[in-house]
Structure 1
Amino acid sequence: MKRILLTAAVASAILSTGLSRAADTPGSNPSVRSPSVAERIAAARKALDAKEHSRAMRELQVAVREDPRNADIHNLLGYTYRTQPQPNLVKSIEHYQTGLKIDPKHRGLHEYIGQAYLMDKKPAEAEKHLVELEALCGNKTCEEYQELSKALVAYRAKNGG
């Protein structure tokens, strides 16, 4: 009888101090917790690799609500809008510009906004970002500069300009 009373007293003390948690309380069960921003970005990249733009967009939209000042998220959102089957260049460029306001030295953003401007038939705008990449890289050998430079050459060859 003493043991039952002692057990009841301990249980009561635990419950009254808030040390007990419901099984569905966020954080009490690792399978219930929501993914972190980094996990959402990783899931979005995986979805983009699989050409699953809708899934990537869902992950990125949650991530940007949780961390709106993350230039990498805006870069991936811009990329997703630009590379989906029906590109949305207005939204793409909007996210690239937001990302560049957050991190003006983000080389990936400069490359990708340049690509978006080429898709939008604005090579002069793309050229500005190529010049910026040269300054950021300190030369013309970084990957982002090389990729945008190749895209500009191909654009000019195709469009005569």
Structure 2
Amino acid sequence: MWIKKFMMALTFVAATQLLSAQLLHAMGSSNNDQPAAKAADPNFDMGKQAIDAKDWPSALKSFRLVVGKDPKNADAFNYMGYAHRQMGDYASAFKAYGEALAINPNHKGANEYIGEAYLKTGNLEKAEMHLAKLDDICTFGCAEYTMLKRKVAEFKAAQN
């Protein structure tokens, strides 16, 4: 009886993960290793608001202030990479994502977003490398893995 309940619970968790991936637009700040206090910086909050408003230059300005005070803030570097990527500045995006991943190689958002940047620059191999990393990080799946997997599939379909 307990095995049946366990399997039902496991199925529920898996379905919840898949559904949340479908509903979420992962903004890539999922860095479970950093305490929530990192986001208490008002510049961080302003940067996130700028990201939501698609005001990439303002977002970069805010997140530069954050990393100036906290050079180990992987979330801020990840958002900087996101803003650079949205502006089409892939060299700067890769640099910012690289900083985030140097701080925390298991940062889900940075692995997803750098994978998407690699797809935008035509580097499927590198994108798949980050997809595999997310597969390792996300034991029972996560939104970042699902989103990058979908982007990789779309990239491959467009190549055919």
Shorter-chain TM band: 0.7 to 0.9
1:79-118 matched pairs, under 5 angstroms:
79-84=82-87, 87-118=88-119
- Structure with more of its chain in helix, by fraction: 2
Q: How much has 1:38 moved relative to structure 2?
A: 2.2
Among the aligned pairs, what percent are the same residue?
32
Matching residue of 1:16 = none
Q: Which runs of 4+ in 1 moved over 4 A?
A: none
Counterpart of 1:74 (choices 72, 77, 86) is 77
Query: Which whole-Å deviations, capped at 9, do the CAs of 1:2-61 have from their partners, x for residues lacking one?
Result: xxxxxxxxxxxxxxxxxxxxxxxxxxxxxxxxxx96211111111111111111111111
1:21-40 matched pairs, under 5 angstroms:
38-40=41-43
Q: Give, as a single letter, the amino acid of the residue that structure 1 aligns with 2:96.
A: H
Higher relative CO (Cα under 8 Å, sequence separation at least 6) belongs to 2
Q: How much has 1:96 moved relative to structure 2?
A: 0.6
Preserved contact between residue 37 and residue 67 of structure 1 (Cα < 8 Å): no
TM-score by length of 1: 0.72
Residue 153 (str. 1) matches residue 156 (str. 2): no
Q: Give, as a single letter, the amino acid of the residue that structure 1 aligns with 2:158.
A: K
- Indicate the RMSD between aligned Cα atoms, in angstroms: 1.4
1:153 and 1:62 map into 2 onto residues whose CA distance is 36
Give secondary structure in 2 for the equivalent of 1:147: helix
Matching residue of 1:119 = 120
Q: Give, as a single letter, the amino acid of the residue that structure 2 aligns with 1:157.
A: A
Q: Give structure 1 stretches of 5+ with no counterpart.
A: 1-35
Pick the structure with greater CA Rg. 1
TM-score by length of 2: 0.73
Residue 59 (str. 1) matches residue 76 (str. 2): no
2:78 and 2:104 map into 1 onto residues whose CA distance is 11
Q: Give, as a single letter, the amino acid of the residue that structure 2 aligns with 1:146.
A: T
Query: Which whole-Å deviations, capped at 9, do the CAs of 1:87-137 have from their partners, x for residues lacking one?
Result: 100110111111111001111110001001001110100000000101101
Count of residues paired in the alignment? 122
Matching residue of 1:128 = 129
Q: Give structure 2 stretches of 5+ with no counterpart.
A: 1-38
Preserved contact between residue 37 and residue 63 of structure 1 (Cα < 8 Å): no
